[in-house]
Chain A
Amino acid sequence: GAGVSQSPSNKVTEKGKDVELRCDPISGHTALYWYRQSLGQGLEFLIYFQGNSAPDKSGLPSDRFSAERTGGSVSTLTIQRTQQEDSAVYLCASSSLGRSGETQYFGPGTRLLVL
């Protein structure tokens, strides 16, 4: 299928290590979003890309979190010096143009566990 894919599906890491999470959006979608869902919590917006630029980074919880997008396609979310409170499901979504009224299509998520 041509949906949003994410890798890895599961990641276990030790506190203090860096992790990279990958998102492949639907082909042709210019808008890409990262969200996270902590255990028992709702979904929390992290960052939004329009093409390769990120006009809204307001949801990134700390400077340990960063994201980039290259070629207007694949995006990588990097968490440096992971902490136990970073354990969550990280979800990626894409939409055609990033405008209100559009459908966002979500990937299956990456489950991150920081020991």
Chain B
Amino acid sequence: DAKTTQPTSMDCAEGRAANLPCNHSTISGNEYVYWYRQIHSQGPQYIIHGLKNNETNEMASLIITEDRKSSTLILPHATLRDTAVYYCIVGDNQGGKLIFGQGTELSVKP
């Protein structure tokens, strides 16, 4: 079973920041938090991952709480092309397989 819980869906206005929450209260100390997204009819696309510290790349920022029990993915200026299902995943340490949950369906609206 997935170790994360996410809202089923969210809306965001184009140009605004999209903040996607994720709860992972049972995460263990050496497990990573990964974010992937899947645009309709495409394979999943890696966004970002982190262990303890906040992370930022060209796509997004990842904010992890100090107790590591939750995190937030931030898309700073959402565009229509960011409409997708966003998956928050806690990494399995045995070979790195990903256990996907149902994800959050983000709709960016003009």
Contact = CB atoms under 8 A, between A and B. Distances in A.
Interface of A: 4, 31, 33, 35, 42-45, 48, 50, 55-56, 59, 91, 93, 95, 98-109
Among A101, A105, A107, max chain B CB count under 10 A is at A101
Top 9 A-B pairs ranked by shortest CB distance? A106-B43, A43-B100, A48-B95, A103-B46, A100-B91, A42-B100, A106-B44, A45-B97, A100-B93
A103 B59 CA distance: 14
A109 B49 contact: no
Interface centre among B93, B96, B102 (most CB of A within 10 A): B96
A79 B81 CA distance: 35
Given A45-B99, A55-B95, A106-B43, 18 more contacts: A33-B97, A33-B98, A42-B87, A42-B103, A43-B44, A43-B87, A43-B98, A44-B100, A45-B98, A48-B95, A48-B96, A50-B95, A91-B44, A95-B96, A106-B44, A106-B45, A107-B43, A109-B43
